[in-house]
Amino acid sequence: MEAIKAQGIGSESQVEDLGRCVDEISTTVNQLEQRVNDVEQFYMTTDNTQLTTTKYSSVFKDKVKEKQLTNIEKQQQEASHREAAAVKRMQDLMRQFATILRQITQHKWAHPFMHPVDVEGLGLHDYYEVIQKPMDFGTIKSKMEAKDGTGYNNVREIYADVRLVFKNAMKYNDERHDVHIMAKTLLEKFEEKWLQLLPKVAEEEKRQVEEEAKSQLDMKLAQEAAHANMARELSNELCEVDLQLEKLRQMVIQRCRKMSTEEKKKLGTALTRLSPEDLSKALEIVAENNPGFQPTAQEVDLDIDAQSELTLWRLKVFVQDKLKLAGKCSEDVDCNNINNNENTIKSNSKRKREISDVLTKNAIKRTRKLSPNS
């Protein structure tokens, strides 16, 4: 806040310095407000388990990314290692399954199922009306060897297609037909061998489900921790804004001219023209710098001459604003000559700081609740 340190050499220069000061603080408050809203939105979407779809402001995204980088990289590395290990284990299961499939396809009755059914050559005009998804061992083998991403992802997918080969044959052909009998016999042999491999397949599937759940939980905890830190930093930055406002307030006090007796008289008259609600707010302004003043007492005795210059000018700003809104401006108060940005910024800063404090507490509670050790 270089403007706060600068000493104006004239009234115009001083006003420019104050204007720059107010603009800087206003910009900071607006940025903090957006970040507070983003943190609040994060926790709202957390309740709905939509962490990955939250839309953050670009500035906030960068800050969250910076804070999460170490944890995210760690989680990504661990997830990558787990995924690589899972792929290796599944490939091993597929090799074991390929052994079973090879034993079945080498059987003397397997030849009718090695290639797609020759529908045209055999004159099976109703074949596609009966069989919705044709399948054969040649197609299965090609898909198992595919390297372009069109292959099988796991053993159960291959198992399902092998059964489909036999089920199609049994469905289309009468149970007394040789093809039906051959398919039924080979299916029984295949199922026996599959049952020997099934426990390993089930164990691997269970392991993958558990690892995926752990990966999601770790990522969620990392995001919770990052946003909890962000909320705490927001609270600290808002406190810094309060300090800057206090410096600005002190500078304004030092540079403000003393209010004349005539101006005090007009201010006192203008106070009487406020609505009951606005008058109560005006008395609260007086109480902020005068602890002994009781704004809510049944009878209030306000001595204008006993108030500080800061209180007098704040009252004038407040009164002119309210009377202007109510259309009651007169010569008692000039409605166009005082900027009230300082009060507005201070009020906004206080509100954002309260929100940030609440978010920080909630973030800590949530992190503890999600912790595996809790």
- pLDDT tens digits in sequence order for the chain, 374 residues long: 333 333 333 455 666 666 677 777 777 777 777 777 776 676 666 554 444 434 444 554 555 555 555 666 676 777 777 788 888 888 899 999 999 999 999 999 999 999 999 999 999 999 999 999 999 999 999 999 988 888 999 999 999 999 999 999 999 999 999 999 999 999 999 999 999 999 999 999 999 888 888 888 877 777 777 777 777 777 777 778 777 777 776 776 666 678 888 998 898 899 889 988 988 888 888 888 777 787 777 777 888 888 888 888 888 888 988 888 877 665 555 555 444 444 544 454 555 455 555 545 554 444 444 444 44
CA distance 249 to 4: 10
AA letter at 33 = E
Residue 93's H or E segment, with its range, is: helix 58-105
State residue 356's pLDDT score: 52
pTM score:
0.48
CA distance 79 to 294: 63
CB–CB of 258/309 below 8 Å?
yes
CA distance 98 to 104: 10
Which backbone phi and psi does 195 adopt, to 5 degrees? -60, -25
SS3 of 330, please?
strand
Q: Which two tokens stand for residue 134?
A: 């044709």
How many Cα atoms within 13 Å fall on the side-chain side of residue 194? Answer: 16
How large is the C-alpha radius of gyration of the chain?
A: 39
DSSP H stretches of helix in 256-275: 261-271
AA letter at 113 = F
AA letter at 164 = L
Q: Domains in the chain, start-ordered, CATH in brackets?
A: 12-46+69-257 (1.20.920.10), 259-296+303-325 (1.20.1270.220)
CB–CB of 343/314 below 8 Å?
yes
CA distance 10 to 14: 6
State residue 242's pLDDT score: 76
State residue 254's pLDDT score: 67
State residue 155's pLDDT score: 93
State residue 131's pLDDT score: 95
